[in-house]
Amino acid sequence: MAQTSAAPADDAGQTTMASPEGEDRPSESVAPGVSKEEALRTSLAKFKSRDFDVKAEAIETIARSGHERGEALLQALLDRELLHDLAGDRIVLGKQSEQGWALRDPISEEDVGSAEARAARPVIINNRLRQQIRDLKSVTALANPNPLARREAAQRLVGNTDPVVLDALRARQAEEANPLVKGVIDTALNIAVLRDPASQLNERLNAIDAVAGSLEPAVRNVLRDRLAQSDAAAERNAADRALKKIDLRTERYETADTLFFGLSLGSVLLLAAIGLAITFGVMGVINMAHGELIMLGAYTTFVVQQIFPDGHEWSLLVALPAAFLVSAVVGIVIERGVIRFLYGRPLETLLATFGVSLILQQAVRVIFSPLNRSVVTPEWMSGALQINPIFSLTYNRLYIIVFALIVFFALQLVLKKTRLGLQVRAVSQNRGTARAMGIRSERVNALTFGLGSGIAGIAGVALAQLTNVGPNLGHAYIIDSFMVVVFGGVGNLWGTLTAAFSLGIANKIIEPMAGAVLAKIMVLVFIILFIQRKPRGLFPQRGRAAEE
């Protein structure tokens, strides 16, 4: 990275220049900020040169100018929005349109006219200059008040051996109080020691001990280089020990990552299956249209975002109750129109609801077209919580895990503490006795089916944050939902919770070894063998034996 020298300035913002007698005296007094602006314009003028070294010097000067526009100008250079206006022989900001270029002053951002398409061209920079800009932006970010921003900036500089960058890291190291940020800076400086051919053996050994166990990719690379190139046996042994320690930590965090994705899949299976567990457990209905009720919830989320195109950050608050109501109403219509005539005939309910699922899929294709629709994820659900370079927690999956647990415990509260919940549990345990006690089983059946269908709609809202919304969305989860319900125990919510997370984790553990398809087959074979041993699942519903 090129280094430049600038005329010193005193506290009043006055530049100094040498007098004939060799003494420094202040120049003519200028308004605050003018000297910085003039220096910035002088640096910008250097971008008219074809010499990349001259441009590198200009980039360095702009980054160190302290002007409020410095960082924005460097970003404009990266974005190809800093132009050389050939007609006026000046450097300007510009946006391209059908008519040509709309030009703005780089400092004041005022409009300075326009130019034809060929009358201006973006300032040309190469990859070396792009990396220089990114490094300088990271060096500037080392002083950010936010420790997370400082840590990200330091991580971007890990592996960089530029003297200017290393000086900035050393300066920040002396001031840094946050241990996480300081650890990243220490790693960056230790890598620089290992890459420095002039460093002493004891310095390299200390650096290897310091970075042993670090998960930064640059650490692994430099240790492999030292293992292959070092003439000192002590250094090779130290590098080998450090690499083994890194491999051990990497395996642990990869396992944690697998478990996280397993919990994420389990939470999706829980949301998809928990409504089915209620309807299947209470009414003994094999509802093959359950996946389409999930699909309706996802499409409701899409429709809500179309109604509120600028409300992506809060539209989920509207989509959740809307999806519940839409799917619940459709579920009650299905129960009243089809299923109530088929109680006690599970195979016929399977065929009837399969037909209903086809009707719902075709209706969605007619209304929304067969093409997939995308739902915009809110900003607060985007991105990831970076624990280290190996392990990160994506916010959308993290929120869905928490959301699935909230839905589960809310449903438990409804079933344990409300009149409807008491009636549902009574009917599920012994329908005849419940009727004898005055419970209207038909009303309970309709409300229970509506409740289970509404929860399926909520599952669709969650799935819309993970995948595209399409007519076949629910079809992919119906088989998995039945597996979860049967494995956990029909009608037992705790069994559904245990089965969902168990199958989700098992899938993600097997997938790297056997592939996604074979993993599902192996899980299905396991469930078949398990049901042969325990036909009523992990947690069988008590009281059903009297009815059966």
Do 225 and 263 sit in the same domain of this protein?
Answer: no
Tell me how many degrees the CA angle 415-421-424 measures, rounded to the nearest 5: 115
Domains contained in the chain, number = 3
β pairing state of 90-97 and 100-104: antiparallel
Do 353 and 406 sit in the same domain of this protein?
Answer: yes
pLDDT level of residue 206 (50, 70, 90 thresholds): very high
pLDDT of 208 reads 92
pLDDT of 23 reads 37
Please state which of the ranges 4-8, 171-175, 515-519, 525-529 shows the lowest mean pLDDT: 4-8
The string of pLDDT tens digits covering residues 114-141 is 888 888 889 888 888 888 888 888 888 8
Q: What is the mean pLDDT of residues 525-530?
A: 88
pLDDT of 282 reads 66
Indicate whether 545 pLDDT > 70: no
Do 286 and 427 sit in the same domain of this protein?
Answer: yes
Q: Quick one: which of 97, 73, 71 has its CA closest to 83? A: 73
The string of pLDDT tens digits covering residues 388-405 is 888 888 898 999 999 999
Q: Which residue has the tokens 């034809």?
A: 116
Torsion sign across C-alpha atoms 64, 66, 72, 76: negative
Using CA atoms in the order 131, 132, 137, 139, what is the torsion angle rounded to 10 degrees? 110
437: its two tokens: 């006690």
Using CA atoms in the order 63, 65, 68, 73, what is the torsion angle rounded to 10 degrees? -40
Domain that holds residue 368: 255-546
Please, what is the average pLDDT of the chain?
Answer: 83
Indicate whether 31 pLDDT > 70: no
246 located within any domain: no
Q: Quick one: which of 137, 3, 158 has its CA closest to 77? A: 137
367 located within any domain: yes
430 located within any domain: yes
pLDDT of 322 reads 94
Q: Rounded distance, CA 474 to CA 291, Å?
A: 4
Do 226 and 268 sit in the same domain of this protein?
Answer: no
Indicate whether 9 pLDDT > 80: no
pLDDT of 22 reads 37
Using CA atoms in the order 418, 419, 421, 427, what is the torsion angle rounded to 10 degrees? 170
Q: What is the mean pLDDT of residues 501-505?
A: 91
Please state which of the ranges 24-28, 174-178, 504-508 shows the lowest mean pLDDT: 24-28
- Please state, for a pLDDT cut of 70, what percent of the chain lies above it: 91
pLDDT of 546 reads 39
pLDDT of 541 reads 64
Q: Where are the alpha helices (DSSP H) in 144-178?
A: 147-156, 163-175
Do 400 and 532 sit in the same domain of this protein?
Answer: yes
pLDDT of 75 reads 86
Do 123 and 156 sit in the same domain of this protein?
Answer: no
Do 355 and 382 sit in the same domain of this protein?
Answer: yes
Do 273 and 216 sit in the same domain of this protein?
Answer: no
DSSP letter at 373?
Answer: B
Do 62 and 170 sit in the same domain of this protein?
Answer: no
Q: What is the mean pLDDT of residues 29-38?
A: 54
Q: What is the mean pLDDT of residues 181-204?
A: 90
The packing angle between helices 233-283 and 395-417, to 10°, is 30
Do 496 and 540 sit in the same domain of this protein?
Answer: yes
Q: Which residue has the tokens 């409740």?
A: 451
Q: What is the mean pLDDT of residues 299-321?
A: 88
Q: Rounded distance, CA 97 to CA 354, Å?
A: 54
